[in-house]
Structure 1
Amino acid sequence: MRCGWVKARDATYEAYHDLEWGKPLHEERALFELFSLETQAAGLSWLTVLKKREAYREAFAGFDLDTVAGFTCKDVERILQMEVIKHPKKIEAILHNAKLFLDIKREYGSLDAFFWSFVNHTPILNDVPDYKTAPTTSPISDALTRELKKRGFKFVGSVTIYAFMQACGMVNDHEMRCDFR
């Protein structure tokens, strides 16, 4: 049985839930990708973004942080012609945030060390009887959001950051009855 939010009966959505969502993620490129995609989801369904993930990977050089940090306005124009969400400010935010992530890497050694420090490098396992009762923010997502905003990150709010934390396994909010918990 899967979490109740996997309603689409879409193979992409089911595979994402079964194989990725809530599993601790520590690889730098994957963290940057997931963070970037979560910022794209603001105001949209996650499935909309997930279905465009391959196009985002192509557009953003496989989410190589150093490469994306060097992108220019010409790259934004190029990306907007691709099969991504056509929102220039969101695309520009990925480039902007990439530059800020380079600062975090210099300071913390890795994105992994930065993000996971907010949960003491240990996933939080919540008792979620039904996804409708799961939190959408937490004091930790609030604190992480404040830190990111202080550093100048764009398209970050506590709901977006909590969704990122769930997705990368910092928080495990699989329903208690879910086979993938």
Structure 2
Amino acid sequence: MSRCAWVNPNNPLYIAYHDEEWGKPLHDEQALFELLCLESYQAGLSWEIVLNKRQAFRSAFFNYDVQKVAAMIDSELDRLLANPDIIRHKAKLYATRANAQAFLRVQEEFGTFEHYIWSWVDFTPIDNPVKSFRELPTKSDLSERLSKDLKKRGFKFVGPVCVYSYLQAAGLLNEHEVNCQYQ
């Protein structure tokens, strides 16, 4: 079975994530919000660490119900700092609430976040199969422009590297390796 070389073959969560989620066009609002949050937690860390804590993050943030997360108060976020099952980075936890609030504003303006995000690629995934993931940049002109727009809208921890990874994971960029059977 051939998959992208960046997948840790010893981690069943990583394998399932690659095979069932990564790079598949994502259109569900809740899933788009969750993925944006998870990508923001990755800043400075490995994706595998975030993925291993995903279930705990879901519990901590109401399964990423954007309305509930947007309404969280400081004391709820501060309590999460004692939860050893998640990444206890105060700015990232507070960014989750800020991102939920910004997400709701985007939904209000564009009808859905899906419409907003997919409009950046003319509603069609960009195919860019590569021989090795090592050939891929960490950011692009698209991720830089989108990052700037997201920040202008109040999103946090959405630098161009995070946004590039988000675009790949959400299937807006199809960058599976050419040998990968999941491309």
How would you bin the TM-score normalised by the shorter chain?
over 0.9
Q: State the alpha-carbon separation in 2 of the partners of residues 8 and 178 from structure 1.
A: 14
Q: Kindly report which structure 2 residues correspond to 1:30-179, keeping only aligned pairs within 5 A, or say none.
A: 30-82=31-83, 83-179=85-181
- Name the TM-score, length of structure 1 as normaliser: 0.97
Q: Distance in 2 between matches of 1:154 and 1:171?
A: 22
Which segments of structure 1 move beyond 4 Å, counting only runs of 4 or more? Answer: none
Amino acid at match of 1:127: P
Quote the sequence identity (%).
46
Q: RMSD of aligned C-alpha atoms?
A: 0.9
Which residue pairs with 2:19 in the alignment?
18
| 2:94 maps to amino acid | E
* Rounded Cα–Cα distance in structure 1 between residues aligned with 2:140 and 2:148: 12
| 1:80 alignment partner AA | L
| 1:72-103, Cα deviation, whole Å (9 max, x unpaired) | 10111222222110101100000011111111
Spell out, residue by residue over 1:122-144, the C-alpha distance to the aligned partner (whole angstroms, 9 max, x if none). 00110211010012212111111
List alignment gaps of at least 5 residues for structure 2. none
Separation of aligned partners in 1, 2:144 and 2:182: 27
Q: Distance in 2 between matches of 1:166 and 1:15?
A: 16
Q: CA deviation at 1:36?
A: 0.3
Count of aligned pairs: 181
Query: For each residue in 1:15-57, what CA deviation from the matched residue of structure 2 results, as whole angstroms up to 9, or x when unmatched?
Result: 1001100000000000000000000000000000001000000
Q: TM-score, normalised by structure 2?
A: 0.96
> Which amino acid in the other structure matches residue 63 of structure 1?
Y
What is the aligned partner in structure 2 of residue 27 from structure 1? 28
Cα deviation, residue 7, structure 1: 3.0
Instruction: Give the stretch that moved more between structures: 7-16 or 33-42.
Output: 7-16
How far apart are 1:8 and its partner, in Å? 4.7
Matched AA of 1:126: N
Give me the whole-angstrom Cα distance separating, in 2, the residues matched to 1:90 and 1:166: 21
